[in-house]
Every structure is written in C-alpha cells, then in structure tokens.
A and B are shown apart, each in its own frame.
Chain A
Amino acid sequence: MLFAVGHSNDPDSQTAISEVLAQIHTTLAGTSPKGGVLFAAIDFDHALILHRVIKAFPDINLIGGTTDGEMSSVLGFEQDSLTLMVFCSDEVTITAGMGRGLSKDVTAASHSAVQQAKANHKEDIQFCISLPESLTTSGALILDSLKQALGARVPIFGGLTADQWRSEQTYQFFQTEVCSDAVPILLFSGPILFSHGIASGWQPIGKPGRVTKAESNVVYEIDDQPALAFYQRYLGDLPPSSEYPLALFDADSNRYYMRAPIEIHDATIGSIIFFGDVPVQSMVQITETTHDNILAASRQSTQQALENYPGQAPAAALFFSCASRRQILGSRTGEEYEQAQHCLTQPLPSCGFYTNGEIAPLQQHGTTYFHNETFITLLLGAE
C-alpha cells in the first residue's frame, strides 16, 4: 500500500493545489490513487481545488473539509494551507459517501452516506474516516447515527470541520462537491492494518456542579442557575469558549470526558451550545490545561497508537487535533506535530488538521466516541 502527501502554504488556490499535486505525483510515480483526504483552510477556492484533484486522479474517492489549521510530514504545522493525503492499493477497497442536510434529518443523512459508500465493498468494513459538519448539528448525534448505520463494530475516526475559530460556516468535500451541513465518509475494507491513540491533557479545576436542565447539546442550567453563570464565575465577562470545556464525570468513577462550548445560545436565559450532547444530571467541572500538558498528551497519543499497531511498522499517519489545543498552544502549536513525530522511529508520510471535535474509540476496537480537546493519532499500513 502506498501513501503520498502534498502540502502547500500558498494562499493562492491555483498555485497551492499545483504544488500539492506536484509533490504527490513525484511520490506516486504514475500509480493511481484509490482514496484521499483533503484538509483545506477556510479562505481557499475549494471548488477549484477539488476539480483539480479529480482531474489529476480520476479514480480517487475523495473526501475533505475545512480546518482550523493543517499539518503534514511535508511542512509540519501550518495555517491557511492546503494538504492532501492519497492512498494507493490494489487489494484494499476504498469508497466514499456523502450525507447532506444533517440539521434537517441527521439519521437520514448519515444513513445515505453509509449506504452510498458501502455499496462496493465485498469484505467487512475495517474502519471509517469521517469529516462531518460541526456548527449545525451536535457532533455526538451525528456520530450516533453513523454508528447505527455502520454497526457498532466498525470504528470511526476523524474530526469535525472548522472555520478558524470564526463559528460562521464550515465546509465538507465529496469528490468535486463543496457542502455545508453534510457528513462525508471514507470506508476501508481488505488487508489494511490500523491502530490509534487518543489523549487530551485537560484537567478539571474549581467546584463541580450538576447539570439541572439541558436538551441535547444545549445546557440551560447548572445547579439550578443559568449555565452561563457557572462559566462567568470562572471566566468573568468573557464568553465561554472551547479551550475551557466542561469535564463530564462518569456516574460512579473519576473518569471524565469533555464537552466544549460553541457559543452562547440565549444570552437572556444564559444557555450555552456545546459541540456534543450533555445529559441532564451530569456532574460537570470546568477544566484548564497548560502547554506542557497538551504537548505531553500529543506524544502519549502517538505512543499509544504505535504500541497497538498490529503489523511490523505503520506506513502512514493521520492526526486529528482539537482547535482549542492550537488556540492555547499559540506559537508553540508546531511542537505538537513535532512531539507526535518524535515517537516514530522513521519518518512517515502523515497529514492532519485542527478540528472542532474529534472522533475515535476510547480503546482499540471499542465503541466510537465523540471527543473535545483531544489529539487522535491514526496509524495505517498494509499486511
């Protein structure tokens, strides 16, 4: 199995895609890719870029989306850049599907994406990569219906598309199509090996509270007070933002997962929209982190993936990291990619993006969960 990566930081769409394609052509030396993932900054002319990719690789099954930042083995961490990874294999089946209109009917959209992608597979699906919309529908809800359509056994990896912290509009790509409110997926079957790692680095701090009123991904009240008051107690008058997520505790242990706020839902009643569902009665606590904690977690994620890799050595890596991590790391964001690379014994073609929410199982071959503030490493290779 052959993997190739291209990455350009030229803000001009034509030049950028030319550079990316040139880099990939050099690696492939004439081989035709079967599948690909494209991560593009929000300001590019996405339609133009997609047409160029399809023209260059007519057989490709392509999905992609807009980002909060990009990274690859070519340029490391970049912003306002364009990166593409392609997969070539005669044995591995790779197909793409796209579900549209998530906010109207999340189940129908997810099922249609899975149905479209599943059609050409003769063997069991090994795993799924998905890059869904983040701003119109709860990420947890999208994931639930994807799981339902695919079967809980199929692990899903990926991240929610982003728009450089603007919370205005994000885009999803499928072949030459640019959509919003959609869920593109890539399905893999055949002799492909994979493993993943996941880590965060955020710590709960301050006083815990109980969610007393919530509906799906909107939290209205914590401890019978407006949810906004809970945040303002700690953040002052500044609005809640995703680098200060809530930790949600398991009912009977100290384990927690995180839910990051998107924005204020209704300022008069103090409700907040989150990137994922927050169940009523959850115990929550505000969280914070430091540069060092974030970077240690990135390394841990890649180490975990390597330890779990089933074959000799992986041939490529995909990274999905939370936009909030970039937000906190600031000028040190580049170190996150370096930390991940640091664990690898040999340089691998790799590619990734900063997301509005990450998707991966907690354990190898476990059920897939929706995450915030995490760094996901997905290692790929052939048998």
Chain B
Amino acid sequence: MSSDVIDPQVEVQQLERENRILKKKLERSNANCLNLEETAQKKESLLRQVIHELGESKESEALLEKQSCELEQALKDLKRTQTQLVQAEKMSSLGQLVAGIAHEINNPVNFIHGNLNHVQDYAQNLLDFVQLYQSHYPNPTPEIQIEAEEIDLEFIQTDLPKILDSMKMGTDRIRQIVLSLRNFSRMDEAEFKTVDIHEGIDSTLLILQHRLKDKPESPSIQVIRNYGDLPLVACYPGQLNQAFMNILANAIDALEEVNTKRTYEEIRENPSQITIETSLVDSTSVKISISDNGIGMPESVQQRIFDPFFTTKAVGKGTGMGMSISHQIITEKHGGRLDCFSTPGKRTEFMIQIPVHH
C-alpha cells in the first residue's frame, strides 16, 4: 500500500481513537479546571494571611519588648537564686558544724554531770561530818570559832547543797540542749525509725528557745502545746525535725516582723503565740498543726510558698528553700501532705499530715 492511499477502515479506527482521547481529555479538563481554581484560591488566601501576619508582626514588636522585659526579670531572679544558693550552702555547712560541736560537747558535759553526783555525796558527807563535830564540841577553840566566822561556815553549810543542785540543773540543761541538737540534726539517724513525734517537736522548740524567750524589746512568744494521744510514727526523724524547725522558724520570723511595729506594752496585751496541735486523723495517719497569730500572708505568697527559692525575706536572710524542703520531706519522703492556710491580717497555719506506717 502506497503512503498516499489511506485505508478507510484504518482511518475510521484512527478517528475513533482520536475521538476517545479527546472525550477523555474533555472530561478531565473540567475536573482539572475546578481543582486548579481551588488550588489558586487557596494560594491566594494563604498569601493574604501571610501578608496580614507580616502586618501583625509590627504589633509583635511590642510583644518582643514585653518578652525582653520578662527575660530581664528572669535574669534578675536567677542572680538572686544564685546568691540564695550560696547562702543555702553556708547554712548546710553550719548545720554540720553544729552537729559536730554538739557531739564534742557531749563527752565533757557527761563527765562533769556524772562526777557531780560524787561531788554531791562527798560534800554532803563533809557537811554531815562538820555537823557531827559541832554537836560533840559545842564550844570550839577561839581559833576555830574565828575561822568559822571568817568563812561564814553557817552560810556555806546551807548554800553548798544549793550550789551543787543548781550546777546539776545547769549540766542537765546542757545535756538536754546537746541531746536536742543531736536529736535535731540526727546525722547518725538517716534511716527509717518509729519515734515519738512530740519528742521531735520538743527538741526543735528547745533549740529555738533563745528566739522564743523574753527580750528587752519584746516579751516572750507563748508556745501552746495541745498534744493529742499519738502512736509512734514511722519516719525519718532527722528530716521530719528539720521540717518542724523550718515551719516553726518561719512562724517566729512572722511574729517578730509584726512585733517590730508594736510596743512592748502592746505585745504584752496581745501576746505573740504559736500553737501546736497534734491529733490522730484516723488509725492510719496523724495531723500536726503549727499556727501563729501573726499577720497572715497574701494569696500571691501562699501560692508560691512551697516554690524553691521563693522568699519574701531580704537576700542573706532567707534561702527560700526552707518551706520547699519541708514540703518535699513531708510529701515525697513520708507520703504525707503539707498545706498552708492563711488569713491575711490574722493567722497562718501549716498543717502536716503523715501516715503512721509508711
């Protein structure tokens, strides 16, 4: 077949084929057109929004300024935290030092205290002996008479037992303080034990005694103890005492702050008080409430009271760690809870609840 002669059948087939392809193209082009229109519409919307956002970015300059202010504040806070950390480190060393000193004092004090009993016995024997001598020789020689008057024998006889008694009281107190210091730091008792919670509170109060007692500028802070009947509680005694210490010291700080604005007379009329109440919540847990009649705390302070490094005190005075550590000791180490209730202008209460068996 020559090239210029076309078979009609082939031509028809060719035309049919072209027709099929064209029809398909037509079907498709409509769908494609709609799709393209939609894509273009989306693109337009997208670009319009991006342009809008560019405009907004001018407003965001103000936002940036605000953010930079916040950053500056964060930097200030960070510097403050750093100072506090250094302070906390100092306090921690001090704690170890105190525990060490308490341990060192313990031996010589026990030595004095133990020997005082013998001294008392010997002194009593000597006094009895003098008395026996006097009853058998009512009229001594003038030399003895003069000497007895010189040394005021009669006074010695009545005063020596008193002096020895008061010395014993003194060593007793030293022993108690040392015991409390050791009890409080409990460096040697890191493990879990069942203890009398009241003993821990009393030790802590004894250590804080110097801050509670009468001072020239203010009368003493009254401590009211309403102790309930508590079972022995399984806990880390050293750590729990640290929590009591932090809460009690905080209460004293609060009361002292109020008292700086009051006269001695005013304080005496309305004395500062710390109330400690303990009770059994149910058979499984105990409650210890420590409250003061200070000025309370505003809501903003209450919210952050357990935040690490949060403090309302001047740099160097508070570490901002006390309450946060107490919270951690009670909640994490003892599975308990520590809540703070405060009425601004009136009082603040810290409520500790810990399980009896951990």
A and B interact: yes
* Chain A residues with CB under 8 A of B24: 11, 43, 80
* Chain A residues with CB under 8 A of B31: 164-165
Given A10-B21, A12-B20, the answer on whether A206 and B35 have CB atoms closer than 8 Å is no
B30 CB to closest chain A CB, in angstroms?
Answer: 13
Bound Cα distance A327, B28 (Å): 13
For chains A and B in complex, what number of residue pairs have CB atoms within 8 angstroms? Answer: 60
A236 to B42, Cβ gap below 8 A?
yes
* Chain B residues with CB under 8 A of A207: 53
Bound Cα distance A11, B21 (Å): 6
Among B21, B28, B42, point to the contact of A238 (Cβ < 8 A).
B42
A10 to B41, Cβ gap below 8 A?
no
Q: Give 1 or 0 for each of B34-71: 1 = CB within 8 Å of chain A CB.
A: 01101101110111011001000000000000000000
* Chain A residues with CB under 8 A of B45: 234-236, 238
A48 in contact (CB, < 8 A): no
B17 to A206, Cβ gap below 8 A?
no
B137 CB to closest chain A CB, in angstroms?
Answer: 103
A160 in contact (CB, < 8 A): no
Among B21, B28, B39, point to the contact of A243 (Cβ < 8 A).
B39
A244 to B53, Cβ gap below 8 A?
no
Given A206-B53, A234-B46, A234-B49, the answer on whether A9 and B41 have CB atoms closer than 8 Å is no
Bound Cα distance A241, B35 (Å): 10
Bound Cα distance A139, B42 (Å): 25
B222 in contact (CB, < 8 A): no
Give chain B interface residues in 63-90, CB to chain A under 8 Å: none
A115 in contact (CB, < 8 A): no
A12 CB to closest chain B CB, in angstroms?
Answer: 6
Bound Cα distance A235, B25 (Å): 29
Main secondary structure of the interface of B (DSSP, over half): helix
Bound Cα distance A124, B61 (Å): 60
Q: Could you say which interface size class chain A belongs to? A: 20 to 34
Bound Cα distance A306, B42 (Å): 36
When C-beta atoms are compared, the residue in chain B nearest to A289 turns out to be B43
* Chain B residues with CB under 8 A of A234: 42, 45-46, 49-50
When C-beta atoms are compared, the residue in chain A nearest to B44 turns out to be A236
A330 to B50, Cβ gap below 8 A?
no
* Chain A residues with CB under 8 A of B21: 9-11
B19 CB to closest chain A CB, in angstroms?
Answer: 10
Bound Cα distance A288, B46 (Å): 9
A212 in contact (CB, < 8 A): no
When C-beta atoms are compared, the residue in chain B nearest to A235 turns out to be B42
A328 in contact (CB, < 8 A): yes
Bound Cα distance A10, B45 (Å): 38
A219 CB to closest chain B CB, in angstroms?
Answer: 18
B28 to A241, Cβ gap below 8 A?
no
B193 in contact (CB, < 8 A): no
A233 in contact (CB, < 8 A): yes
* Chain A residues with CB under 8 A of B47: 288
B17 to A10, Cβ gap below 8 A?
yes
B28 to A79, Cβ gap below 8 A?
yes
A327 to B39, Cβ gap below 8 A?
yes
A80 CB to closest chain B CB, in angstroms?
Answer: 5
Bound Cα distance A12, B31 (Å): 20
When C-beta atoms are compared, the residue in chain B nearest to A286 turns out to be B46
A167 in contact (CB, < 8 A): no
When C-beta atoms are compared, the residue in chain B nearest to A80 turns out to be B24
Number of interface residues of B (CB under 8 A): 22
B125 in contact (CB, < 8 A): no
Q: Give 1 or 0 for each of A78-90: 1 = CB within 8 Å of chain B CB.
A: 0110000000000
Q: Give 1 or 0 for each of B233-255: 1 = CB within 8 Å of chain A CB.
A: 00000000000000000000000
Bound Cα distance A52, B254 (Å): 95
A206 to B42, Cβ gap below 8 A?
no
A203 CB to closest chain B CB, in angstroms?
Answer: 11
* Chain B residues with CB under 8 A of A11: 20-21, 23-24
B107 in contact (CB, < 8 A): no
A15 to B17, Cβ gap below 8 A?
yes
B54 CB to closest chain A CB, in angstroms?
Answer: 10
When C-beta atoms are compared, the residue in chain A nearest to B42 turns out to be A235
B32 in contact (CB, < 8 A): yes
A263 CB to closest chain B CB, in angstroms?
Answer: 14
* Chain B residues with CB under 8 A of A10: 17, 20-21
A205 in contact (CB, < 8 A): yes
Bound Cα distance A33, B49 (Å): 54
Give chain A interface residues in 292-347, CB to chain B under 8 Å: 327-328, 330
Bound Cα distance A238, B32 (Å): 17
A330 to B46, Cβ gap below 8 A?
no
* Chain B residues with CB under 8 A of A9: 21
* Chain A residues with CB under 8 A of B41: 236, 238
* Chain B residues with CB under 8 A of A164: 28, 31
Q: Give 1 or 0 for each of A211-254: 1 = CB within 8 Å of chain B CB.
A: 00000000000000000000001111010010110000000000
Among B32, B42, B53, point to the contact of A330 (Cβ < 8 A).
B32
B36 to A206, Cβ gap below 8 A?
no
Bound Cα distance A244, B41 (Å): 12
B35 to A165, Cβ gap below 8 A?
yes
When C-beta atoms are compared, the residue in chain A nearest to B47 turns out to be A288
Q: Give 1 or 0 for each of A188-213: 1 = CB within 8 Å of chain B CB.
A: 00000000000000000111000000
Bound Cα distance A79, B35 (Å): 15
B39 to A205, Cβ gap below 8 A?
no
A225 CB to closest chain B CB, in angstroms?
Answer: 15
* Chain B residues with CB under 8 A of A243: 39, 42
Bound Cα distance A12, B32 (Å): 21
Bound Cα distance A327, B49 (Å): 22
Q: Give 1 or 0 for each of A153-189: 1 = CB within 8 Å of chain B CB.
A: 0000000000011000000000000000000000000
Bound Cα distance A14, B162 (Å): 129
Q: Give 1 or 0 for each of A1-17: 1 = CB within 8 Å of chain B CB.
A: 00000000111100100
- 23 A–B contacts, CB within 8 A, in A order: A11-B21, A11-B23, A11-B24, A12-B17, A12-B20, A80-B24, A164-B31, A165-B31, A165-B35, A205-B46, A206-B53, A207-B53, A233-B49, A234-B46, A234-B49, A235-B42, A235-B45, A236-B41, A243-B39, A244-B42, A327-B35, A327-B36, A327-B39
In the complex, the 10 A-B pairs of residues with the closest C-beta atoms, listed nearest first: A236-B45, A11-B24, A234-B46, A235-B42, A80-B24, A234-B49, A11-B20, A330-B36, A238-B42, A206-B50
Given contacts A236-B45, A327-B39, 14 further A-B contacts (CB under 8 A): A10-B20, A11-B24, A43-B24, A79-B28, A80-B25, A164-B31, A165-B35, A205-B46, A206-B50, A234-B45, A235-B45, A238-B45, A244-B46, A328-B39
